[in-house]
């Protein structure tokens, strides 16, 4: 009886219920649980220790990591306990977000190709090779890009827009600063970009027709938006059926000085935030990953998300 009461007491804690519900779906490391739950390592480890003592979870070593699984090898859990766990989970609103975050974590785990390119990128340029540079690589990739109509929302002075205009059918650069739009327009004229048009407007209401562009781009612009979800809804409006959206923005961070230094309204976004925005706007085939990690403090990380209308 004492053991049963102890087990029931353990699952009165919402965090432990959330952990158990995740482990019922997939074996996970502490690091993965941290990312999914948004909690510190010590807090999660404490909960896992209690759950392990109660034989509700088991662990095994995999390389440098300890992987936790639901239940114990010494026997199946009482079905009545599982029913109680399900009843408890039904009262916890965060469970739905946990399941969505779990899917992202599993995508990360499977993305071995991205891990390979991360390591390759770390080596690129460290050893001098005549003629090899990021600029040359970028120019090559631009030449391979098919001609498209592209909307660069929150374009600033339009450096990215100017690069894309070398190959695009048309680039529409939108910014809410009159000076930025004027400067960008002058640069476009000076460099002969007749397919690059600057327009004054907000990214939550870009002055672009419905269903008119092949690609909508937000490059480090979304964290300046008053309403990021609305900006992505507008991206869906202006994209053609089958058109795509690309978001490059900061992963959620705690560097408060960014509000003053860079006029940031948002301290980045989590992968779950961006996924919610995209799916809420009607985009499908969402792919999201961290594509860059700065080595110097405050160690900003860059998210890239791609989705299709």
pLDDT of residue 245: 97
- Supply the pLDDT for residue 115: 61
- Calculate the alpha carbon distances from 266 to 80, 192, 230, 232, 256 in Å: 45, 36, 14, 15, 9
Nearest alpha carbon to residue 277 among 215, 225, 211: 225
For residue 36, the tally of other CB atoms under 10 A from its CB is: 25
Please report whether residue 108 resides in a domain. no
Residue 44 has pLDDT above 70, yes or no: yes
Same domain membership, residue 81 and residue 117: no
151 with 80, same domain: the answer is no
- Spatial contact of 268 and 294, defined as CB atoms under 8 Å apart: no
The percentage of residues in the chain with a pLDDT greater than 90, rounded to a whole number, is 56
Q: Helix, strand, or coil here: 115? A: helix
**Residue 107: inside a domain:** no
Report which listed range, 1-5, 35-39, 105-109, 231-235, is most confident.
Answer: 231-235
Determine contact, residues 165/145, Cβ cutoff 8 Å.
no
154 and 41 in one domain? Answer: no
Could you report the per-residue pLDDT of 165-214, keeping only the tens digit for each? 988 999 999 999 999 999 989 988 888 889 999 999 999 999 999 999 99
Q: ∠ CA 247-156-301 to the nearest 5 degrees?
A: 40
Checking if the pLDDT of 99 tops 80, the result is yes
Q: Has residue 166 been placed in a domain?
A: yes
Which pLDDT does position 2 carry in this prediction?
A: 42
- Residue 247 is part of which domain span? 113-308
Contacts of 116 by beta carbon, 8 Å cutoff, 6+ apart: none
Question: Mean of the per-residue pLDDT values for the chain?
Answer: 87
Identity of the highest mean pLDDT range in 23-32, 103-112, 213-222, 254-263 = 213-222
Q: Does 212 lie in the same domain as 288? A: yes
Q: How far is CA 208 from the centre of its chain?
A: 26
> Which domain CATH number covers 148?
3.40.50.150
Q: Identify whether residues 208 and 260 lie together within a single domain.
A: yes
Tell whether 35 and 160 lie within a shared domain: no
Residues 60 and 163 reside in one and the same domain: no
């Amino acid at each position: 009886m004492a053991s049963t009461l102890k087990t029931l007491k353990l699952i009165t804690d919402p965090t432990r219920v959330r952990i158990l519900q995740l482990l019922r779906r997939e074996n996970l490391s502490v690091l993965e649980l941290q990312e999914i739950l948004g909690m510190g390592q010590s807090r999660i480890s404490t909960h896992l220790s209690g759950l392990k003592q109660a034989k509700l979870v088991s662990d095994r070593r995999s390389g440098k990591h300890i992987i936790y699984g639901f239940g114990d090898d010494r026997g199946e859990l009482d079905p009545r306990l599982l029913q109680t766990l399900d009843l408890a989970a039904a009262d916890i609103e965060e469970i739905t977000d946990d399941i969505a975050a779990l899917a992202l974590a599993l995508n990360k785990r499977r993305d071995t190709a991205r891990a390979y390119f991360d390591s390759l990128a770390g080596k690129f340029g460290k050893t001098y090779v005549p003629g090899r540079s990021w600029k040359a690589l970028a120019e090559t990739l631009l030449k391979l890009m098919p001609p498209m109509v592209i909307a660069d929302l929150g374009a600033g002075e339009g450096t990215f827009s100017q690069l894309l205009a070398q190959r695009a059918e048309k680039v529409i650069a939108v910014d809410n600063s009159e000076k930025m739009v004027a400067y960008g327009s002058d640069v476009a004229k000076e460099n002969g970009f007749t397919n690059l048009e600057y327009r004054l407007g907000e990214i939550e209401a870009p002055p672009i027709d419905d269903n008119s562009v092949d690609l909508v781009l937000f490059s480090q612009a979304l964290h300046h938006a008053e309403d990021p979800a609305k900006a992505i809804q507008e991206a869906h409006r202006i994209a053609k059926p089958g058109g795509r959206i690309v978001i490059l923005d900061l992963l959620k961070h705690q560097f408060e000085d960014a509000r003053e230094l860079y006029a940031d309204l948002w301290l980045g976004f989590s992968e779950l935030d961006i996924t919610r925005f995209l799916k809420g706007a009607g985009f499908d085939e969402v792919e999201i990953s961290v594509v860059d990690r700065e080595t110097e403090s405050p160690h900003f990380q860059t998210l890239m998300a791609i989705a299709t209308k």
